[in-house]
Amino acid sequence: MEKLIGILKGIRPDVDFETATDLVDSGIIDSFDIVTLVVEMNEAFEIEIGVEDIIPEHFNSVAAMMALVDRLSE
């Protein structure tokens, strides 16, 4: 999780990602941030996030992102 928070802080240093639960729905991160994040996560966790997985539900919180990482790592 620390690795993911490090990536997120690199993209949006102004956001407290550890507590936020509606990052996309509330507009804290936008499509530029999400696509940048996907590229970083693919590299850092050696996974392949497909286009169909780039949906708000998977990026609304650190927990949701980690769940996506875990699923794609299986």
Binding site residues, another protein, CB under 8 A: 24-28, 30-32, 34-35, 38-40, 42-43, 48-52, 54-56
As measured in angstroms, the least distance from the Cβ of 41 to another protein is: 9
Q: What is the length of the chain? A: 74
Which CB, 48 or 70, lies closer to another protein?
48
Which CB, 27 or 74, lies closer to another protein?
27
Which CB, 40 or 66, lies closer to another protein?
40
Half-sphere exposure for 69 (CA within 13 Å, toward CB): 20
Other residues' Cβ atoms within 10 Å of the Cβ of residue 52: 6
What is the spatial distance between Cα 73 and Cα 71, in angstroms, rounded to a whole number? 5
